[in-house]
Amino acid sequence: MAGGAVVGGGVAGVLEAGDFLPQTERVEAARITATAVTRERGPNFIQDLQRGAATRGPGNRRRVPLRHVACTRNPHRFAGKRWAIGQARGAVYIGTSGYDYPHWRGAFYPRGLPRSRWLAHVSRAFNSVELNGTFYSLKSPDIFRRWARETPEDGFVFAIKGSRFITHNLKLTRPQPALGNFLASGILALGGKTGPFLWQLPPGYAFRPERVEAFLKLLPADSTAAERVARRHDHRVRGRALLRAAAAVRYRHAFEVRHPSFLSPAFYDLLRAHGCAFVIADSAGKFVRADEVTADFVYVRLHGSGALYAGGYPAGELDEWAARIGRWAAPGQEPARDVYVYFDNDALGNAPRDAAGLTERVRGLLGDLVPDRLRTSSRSSEAQAPRSRSGRTRRASRRTLRPSLA
């Protein structure tokens, strides 16, 4: 029984990472667990669990490979490292907002490392990067393919910042062609590395419920819907549009607002109705903030402590953020949620240092940031599936969307 298993208080009790236990305690815990689980779930449950075959049933809501189950007779021994059996812990993604910063050379990037290797370097240090270049201009499919190629295949995702032409110039008015251009510019090439989309609204833009709701209805919920929206592009990407997704994945959307009128139950209700997240943004007091959770994931942007885009986060504040993340990601009173956190205090090179500090703290609380059950390759058989003339896979009617690691 790998790592042993569990519980003071029955199988529905507390689980912890058994690797933290001394060998003698693991053996004893395994014996206690086998007895408790057999009594509660039946004589074949342990064998099924070892085969990964224990699937659905009363009190057993998901398949749980035994290596994810751990044990101790003292449920408080590793405070912060426990969650209930049958409940999936959320994944945590921590990284920086952008990565192409020359002033990070020497402080984060080795001085001799060529600029072309910076993305490979940062993507091995963190499990996510927020692409902010997509905010300023339309990229090309080749750029997105390169981004996907240079990053790890297992457990890494990009967050994609939405076009400022849509949010700042059009202010969400008649956005259909622009949204088509944005999605056709190459985003579909990211495949399973597609994380959440960030839509940042300008400080002077007040809440207009009808306009916001109309935009929410346009946002694609998955890559198949994104293909349809991308086909509505205009001449700006004609001849270089990418209209076929590299993998079938679900999409998530998050909104960062800066006008106080958005701190409204009406806005929160709209986000909840469409499954979109309210971005929890710390901007050194410059812009509005609310710690409102509106979706099955949480999106956090940390713009600097004390100084916008520059101030580093002291240890105490990183401790507090780690505790919040632990509460969001580990099931308890509220359902477990995936959490995405990006440091935007890049001006003085604090972002990678703070991201590393927060990563260390969250690992101390939760173990691996992304549970093994989610650490599947970002490659998808759908990317290689034969396609009909319409651009859909021949087995599209049976195609199953997956959550893109994110």
Q: Per residue of the chain (406 residues), what is the pLDDT tens digit?
A: 333 333 233 323 322 333 333 343 333 444 433 444 344 344 453 444 344 433 333 343 333 332 222 322 232 322 333 333 345 789 999 999 999 999 999 999 999 999 999 999 999 999 999 999 999 999 999 999 999 999 999 899 999 999 999 999 999 999 999 999 999 999 999 999 999 999 999 999 999 999 999 999 999 999 999 999 999 999 999 999 999 999 999 999 999 999 999 999 999 999 999 999 999 999 999 999 999 999 999 999 999 999 999 999 999 999 999 999 999 998 775 789 999 999 999 999 999 999 999 999 999 999 999 987 666 555 443 333 333 333 343 333 334 455 555 5
Domain ranges of the chain: 14-84, 92-384
Across 132-265, where does the E strand assignment appear?
Answer: 157-161, 194-200, 253-256
Beta strands in 1-139 (DSSP E): 14-15, 83-84, 92-97, 128-131
Q: What is the pLDDT at residue 59?
A: 40
- C-alpha 69/C-alpha 172 separation (Å) is 47
Q: Is 14 helix (H, G, I), strand (E, B) or coil?
A: strand
Pairing of strands 14-15, 253-256: unpaired
In Å, how far are 33, 55, 144, 168, 299 from 149, measured between CA atoms? Answer: 44, 35, 9, 31, 25
92-384 CATH, one of 3.40.640.10, 3.20.20.410, 3.30.2130.10, 1.10.3720.10:
3.20.20.410
| Bridge partners for 57 per DSSP | 60
Report the pLDDT value the prediction gives residue 274, as an integer from 0 to 100: 98
- Report pLDDT for 88: 79
Strands 128-131 and 280-282, by their bridges, are unpaired
